[in-house]
Amino acid sequence: MSERLIPYQPMDLAEPAELVAAIRKRRGGNFINLDRMLLHSVPIAEGWNHFIGEIRNNLSLDPKLRELAMCGVAVLNGAEYEFFHHAPPFKKAGGTEEQVQAIRLIGQAQFPKQLFSQVENDAVDLTYQMTRNIKVDGELMKRLQKALGSTDTVELVTVIAAYNMVSRFLIALDVNPEDHPPA
């Protein structure tokens, strides 16, 4: 195994104490490798912990749609770490193992749309368009706004935008999955 260009911060990092405690609290007591990389910059780790914590824990958006979008971004950007961490919450939110495997086909002709509801397929289309094209079809946005309302549509767009940021950070800094799946 070659040495990392930027090493992870140690698992037992104690300072800055308030930030370390906040991250550990959000994670159920542990750091993940993403945290260990973010902690090279206190301002970025603080902002990230707050922003992503809100996205993960305080949106009105259906958690299944949230995790579907996160997994879709991971697949489209080749961020296996992101997929590794979001497939289990997708299943916990009501997704099936068959759907998890199908998500790996987002953006391909053989993507099995029949495994997903209309709003889930629209969320997949939005994820694809925002991640690959940046611009989004107006009719798609109208359907999502009609199905989800303004708040949840804004939240879905924000989830996709935020997790594109996450995947780009993970890939650029070669952040890899931990040895054991998250609880």
pLDDT in tens, 58-97: 999 999 999 999 999 999 999 998 999 999 999 999 999 9
The predicted structure's pLDDT at residue 182 = 41
- pLDDT for the residue numbered 181: 42
Alpha-carbon distance of 9 to 85, in angstroms, equals 20
Q: Is the pLDDT of residue 99 over 80?
A: yes
Residue 7, in any domain of the structure: no
The span from the CA of 126 to the CA of 9, in Å, is 35
- CATH code of the domain containing 149: 1.20.1290.10
Which of 43, 34, 42 has its CA nearest to residue 6? Answer: 34
Q: How large is the angle between the packed helices 138-172 and 63-77, nearest 10 degrees?
A: 60
Kindly indicate the confidence band of residue 2, based on its pLDDT and cuts at 50, 70 and 90: low
Domain span holding position 87: 63-172
**The token pair that represents 162 in the structure block:** 């935020």
- Our count of domains for the chain comes to 2
Q: Indicate whether 1 belongs to any domain.
A: no
pLDDT of residue 86: 95
Residues 154 and 99 occupy one common structural domain: yes
Q: To the nearest whole percent, how much of the chain has pLDDT over 70?
A: 96
Token readout for 169 is 């950070």
Alpha carbon 160 to chain centroid distance? 8
Tell me: do 79 and 134 sit in the same domain.
yes
Q: How far apart are CA 152 and CA 147, in angstroms?
A: 9
Question: Are residue 162 and residue 83 in the same domain, yes or no?
Answer: yes
Query: What six digits make up the tokens of 179?
Result: 């040895």
Q: Does 67 lie in the same domain as 46?
A: no
Q: Is residue 3 part of a domain?
A: no
Q: Same domain, yes or no, for 67 and 131?
A: yes
